[in-house]
């Protein structure tokens, strides 16, 4: 990758992870106070992934200005790969839930792609 691409991509990932940390913290508080059901929590976690990748894709698209669709998609996929690698590193012997992993990857890719497309 060209040096002019690395910094915006790293910045978009930083934005995505900071936002997801804040939103997941808010979700933890809501879970504590509201006693949400597992199905509701799973849906909200997917929405957090979507929002975080949307923001990261928008940041990447805004900085790179060309092929925003592609850079947003790549930002979302990088977000997923780091998320997947850290999850696996924390518990390498757990059973791999392929269906959930593919769903999370699709949500992250979609969020990043939409963020890149709608960046101004």
Give the Cα separation of 6 and 10 in Å (integer): 6
Q: What is the pTM of this model?
A: 0.90
Contact (Cβ atoms closer than 8 angstroms) between residue 55 and residue 3: no
Q: What is the pLDDT, as a whole number, of residue 105?
A: 96
pLDDT tens per residue, range 70-79? 999 999 999 9
**Which residue, 58, 45, 46, 44, is CA-closest to 15?**
58
From CA 49, how far away is CA 57, in angstroms rounded?
12
Say how many domains are in the chain: 1
Q: Write down the pLDDT at residue 65.
A: 82
Q: Please state, as a whole number, how many other Cβ atoms lie within 10 Å of the Cβ of residue 19.
A: 18
Tokens read off for 91: 């518990």
pLDDT at 2: 58
Which pair of tokens denotes residue 116? 């890149």
Low-confidence ranges of the chain (pLDDT < 50): none
5 burial via Cβ count (<10 Å: 0-12, 13-18, 19+): middle
**What domain range includes position 101?**
3-117
Number of Cβ atoms within 10 Å of the Cβ of 26:
12
């Amino acid at each position: 990758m060209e040096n002019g691409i690395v910094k915006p991509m790293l910045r978009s990932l930083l934005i995505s992870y900071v936002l997801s940390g804040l939103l997941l913290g808010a979700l933890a508080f809501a879970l504590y106070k509201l006693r949400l059901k597992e199905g509701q929590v799973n849906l909200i976690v997917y929405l957090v992934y979507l929002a975080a990748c949307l923001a990261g894709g928008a940041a990447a698209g805004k900085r790179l200005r060309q092929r925003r669709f592609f850079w947003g998609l790549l930002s979302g996929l990088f977000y997923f790969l780091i998320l997947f690698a850290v999850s696996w590193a924390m518990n390498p012997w757990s059973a791999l839930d392929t269906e959930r992993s593919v769903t999370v990857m699709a949500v992250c890719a979609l969020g990043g792609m939409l963020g890149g497309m709608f960046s101004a």
